[in-house]
Structure 1
Amino acid sequence: METGSHAHHEDPRNETVRIYVNGRIVPRAEAVVSVFDSGFLLGDGVWEGIRLHNNKLAFLEEHLDRLYEGAKAIDLDIGMAPAELAKKIMDTCAANGMHSGVHIRLVVSRGLKSTPYQSPKANVGGATVVIIPEWKEAHPTAKERPMSLFTAHVRRGAPDVQDPMWNSLSKLNCIAACIQADKAGADEALMLDPHGFVATCNSTHFFIVRKGELWTSTGKYCLKGITRGNIIELAHRNAVPVYQKDFSLTEVYGAEEAFVTGTFAGVMPVGTVDGRQIGDGGRGQMTARLQSLYADLIQQECPAD
């Protein structure tokens, strides 16, 4: 079982799940793409992780806005309008009899190449679109069991290297950070920006609590997180002082609380960073409060019929 922000129980139903591949919904064993696909050859594409709750796609507009903005930035034509893509996601879930407790990986690559070469001029045909829905929910202990983080030597780059706002298939920098954290015995990696300030984690966003204030990074060197944005908005609505700012590891080590956010598990407490205990090492009051507020927001976004 995975640990940390993606801890979950395996569900045997996923062995026979049906997956959308370029207009066809096929059994998992038949869901394949060519070895000449741009995603396989070069990591050339974008993706989103989306949750299905009460037969509704949570924060769908925000996810599709991010997907299409990233695709436009790398001059990738998805080949269909957002509304059509949203329908295909729901059709794929319906084909599996899915209604709730589902995590969806939406992947769009630049498509087939005539030969293994990085230039888009070598591409033939349109984009490859894959929709992978799974019965997958966060482990019940994820909201209570504090995660451990380790600061990786791998940094988040500036936009003139590879824009960190792209949710691209090219994730090797984050994977390298994840590996370093794993080798250090931690659940996830904390990553710094080019100036040495805290940026984000390898697959989630990072917050600390100091003297009743909520701090997170400036956002300049991290993905435009959907859950991150929702937590910032919830803080504003509920009179919690929240700041997007530069802060150092020293200020992290001295924080009263820390937590991470992500589409899959929402809000998860952090107990240690680089072996330093944060606060009392458990889930803090602010973290618990924001977890509750976020759960309510999900229900408002995806009400039961």
Structure 2
Amino acid sequence: MIHGTHNAVQDERNNNVLISINGELFHRNDAKISVFDSGYLVGDGVWEAFRVHHGKMIFVDDHLSRLWQSAKVIGIHIPFSKEELMAQIQQTLDANQMKDYIHVRVMLTRGIKKTPSQDPRLTISGPNVVIIAEHKQASTETKNKGVTLFTSTYRRGSPDYLDPRLNCHSKLHEVQALIQAIEAGADEALMLDIHGFVSTCNATNFFMVKGDEVWTSTGAYCMNGITRGKVIELCERKGIVCHQKNFSLFDVYGADEAFVTGTFGGLTPVTKIDGKPIGTKTPGDITAELSNLYAQLVSQQFN
């Protein structure tokens, strides 16, 4: 069985979900997009994913702000407002009668190309917007068991050629890193930056605990995850020292605790890195405390 931070409880309702394509709803088996779509042809697009609990879109403002910023960075003009997109998302949720334990992925591509090409001037349509909402409850087994990491030889890139903060459709180097980790017998990949410092994981952000301090990367070479930001804010609010700094595997192997953060799984403990045990229990005390604080922060969104 696949084990990782995106493990979800199986839900048969997902077999019949309706998916929104440019505002029109289709059964998942009939949800199609052209092979001339720029996202399919050259990975030319951006996306966001967020949770829905008790009918509320969790931290949706943060996610849509990042989507608009990412689109601007790659020169996609979004011809609708955030409010109009939220209405489309709500339409999708309502059509599927979705209220709780929902995962929503919004994908925005440059549009349909006249011919296979990188050239954005050959785009002959407006942006394509796909909204996939699924019933997804994170597996408690993953939280209880934790995940293992393997340090990949694939590095997080420099901002001057593909900024790691850009949530774009091209995730090939993260896929390659994950394949390396899986082949090494780990669940997911730890990735270093171009200087050899610890940056992030292939699909989540990495944190470790040294004594009573929390350490994470500078954020210069990783996706600045929404959950990552919330955990940093929680540390500041609760008086937990949180360093955003450069550190190496030398420091990581001696960590007292480690965990990863992501929209779907929240905080997930890390039990081994490159075969070396981390900590003495799962989760560690600070990981458990921050996980509970994060759960409270999420619950405040729908109270």
Displacement of 1:32 after TM fit?
A: 0.5
Aligned to 2:170: 170
Aligned to 1:268: 268
Displacement of 1:119 after TM fit?
A: 0.7
**Would you say the 8 A contact 1:270–1:278 is kept in 2?**
yes
Displacement of 1:52 after TM fit?
A: 0.6
1:298 maps to 2:271: no
Deviations 1:230-279 (A, max 9, x none): 00000111110001000000100000000000000100000000001112
Aligned to 2:22: 22
Query: What is the CA RMSD across the aligned residues, in angstroms?
Result: 0.9
Question: SS state of the match for residue 209, structure 2?
Answer: strand
**Would you say the 8 A contact 1:228–1:262 is kept in 2?**
yes
Question: SS state of the match for residue 98, structure 2?
Answer: coil
Aligned to 1:87: 87
**Which whole-Å CA distance do the structure 1 matches of 2:252 and 2:153 have between them?**
17
Question: SS state of the match for residue 258, structure 2?
Answer: strand
Aligned to 1:284: 284
Percent identity of equivalent pairs = 50
1:140 maps to 2:140: yes
Aligned to 2:258: 258
Amino acid at match of 2:144: E
Amino acid at match of 2:4: G
| Normalised TM-score (structure 2) | 0.98
Runs of 4+ in 1 over 6 A off after TM superposition: none
Aligned to 1:40: 40
**Would you say the 8 A contact 1:54–1:302 is kept in 2?**
yes
Amino acid at match of 2:287: T
**Would you say the 8 A contact 1:146–1:281 is kept in 2?**
no
Displacement of 1:78 after TM fit?
A: 2.4
**Which whole-Å CA distance do the structure 1 matches of 2:85 and 2:282 have between them?**
41
Question: SS state of the match for residue 4, structure 1?
Answer: coil
Deviations 1:91-125 (A, max 9, x none): 10010000011001110011100000001011011
Amino acid at match of 2:300: Q
**Which whole-Å CA distance do the structure 2 matches of 1:70 and 1:241 have between them?**
30
**Which whole-Å CA distance do the structure 1 matches of 2:38 and 2:105 have between them?**
17
Aligned to 2:110: 110
Gaps of 5+ in 2: none
Aligned to 2:12: 12
The correspondence of residues 156-305 of structure 1 with structure 2, limited to 5 A, is 156-280=156-280, 282-303=282-303
Displacement of 1:281 after TM fit?
A: 5.2
Amino acid at match of 1:232: I
**Would you say the 8 A contact 1:272–1:281 is kept in 2?**
no
Amino acid at match of 1:158: S
**Which whole-Å CA distance do the structure 2 matches of 1:156 and 1:230 have between them?**
22
Does 266-275 or 8-17 show the bigger shift?
8-17
**Would you say the 8 A contact 1:52–1:104 is kept in 2?**
yes
- Number of aligned residue pairs: 303
Question: SS state of the match for residue 223, structure 2?
Answer: coil
Displacement of 1:15 after TM fit?
A: 0.8
**Which whole-Å CA distance do the structure 2 matches of 1:222 and 1:8 have between them?**
25
